[in-house]
Amino acid sequence: MKLHNTNAMLRDAQSNHYAVPAFNIHNLETFQVVVDTCHEMRSPVIIAATPSTVRYADKDYLIALTGTAMEKYDIPMSFHLDHHEDVKEIETTVAAGCRSVMIDASRLPYEENVAKVKQVVAFAHTCGASVEAELGKLVGQEDDLVVADADSAYTNPDDAVRYVADTGIDSLAVAIGTAHGLYKGRPKLDFERLKEIRSRVDIPLVLHGASDVPDELVQKAISLGICKVNVATDLKIPFSNAVKSFFKENPEANDPRKYMTPGKEAMKAIVRHKIEVCGSQNRC
């Protein structure tokens, strides 16, 4: 089945003041938990994969899995490349059927960032794919992507207006104080900055680094215009902890179907909770 881009999903979320959850998956089990739970809760979903996940699971399998899930479930769904930096790899994956990509050129100077993003936009739009890009830098680690505290940068509202016009992107990831991975203290989000960006930029806005952020802060960000929320670390930790606990209690276990099941159950509870935080349940 032909995959969909994320434009319609995000525009609906923007119009109706909720957020579409973008869950990072890593294997068949995590994929199953995400799509099954979203179907149960009638939530649209973006299945996100970082470069290391695509290398691990293979783009063709991930695209095929998404197509199968779309035939099985009648909810809005898209497979999305998250934090990809290699233009050729993006083009290859779009050519294979992916219809939603994030080109991350945020570590580059503004003009180089724009030039790289425009290249991806030109190719992706020709194929019917949507493009997300990031302006500013989030600290922390997202798989292979590492940004030190000293290199962090908030999104400048003036630059955001110019960036959207210069690149032609479909959605914008903003840096307002979130971080990838776990936080060293309570996150402090710059909501005034978000308000100004939302008032001046009309495309959907994306919140990266939503794991470990208190629910009330995520919900406030959604109320101020965020319509896509990325979740990764909050899924990996309970899944892994449940598998570790199973082996402590069953050291001789060797059947993946048995030791993966507790991980799936632990992750399912988190997926359900994140859907509720996003307000995306019963939207389809």
Which residue in 12, 74, 82, 149 is the catalytic one? 82
Spatial separation of the C-alpha atoms in residues 63 and 57, rounded to whole Å: 10
Q: Is 208 annotated as a binding residue?
A: yes
Q: Is 230 annotated as a binding residue?
A: yes
Q: Is 82 a catalytic residue?
A: yes
- What distances in angstroms separate CA 171 from CA 8, 180, 252, one per listed residue? 12, 19, 48
Q: Is 209 annotated as a binding residue?
A: yes
Tally of CB atoms within 10 A around 232: 25
Q: Is 211 annotated as a binding residue?
A: yes
Indicate the SS3 state at residue 62.
helix
Tally of CB atoms within 10 A around 267: 26
Q: Is 180 annotated as a binding residue?
A: yes
Beta strands in the chain (DSSP E): 20-24, 45-49, 77-84, 100-103, 130-135, 139-142, 145-147, 171-174, 179-180, 205-207, 226-231
Among 130, 203, 218, 207, residue whose Cα is nearest residue 160: 203
Among 252, 268, 280, residue whose Cα is nearest residue 29: 268
- Token pair, residue 158, equals 């003036």
Q: Is 134 annotated as a binding residue?
A: yes
Residues with active-site annotation:
82
Give the residue ranges of the annotated binding site: 83, 104, 134, 180-181, 208-211, 230-233
Give the residue ranges of the annotated binding site for dihydroxyacetone phosphate: 181, 209-211, 230-233
Give the residue ranges of the annotated binding site for Zn(2+): 83, 104, 134, 180, 208
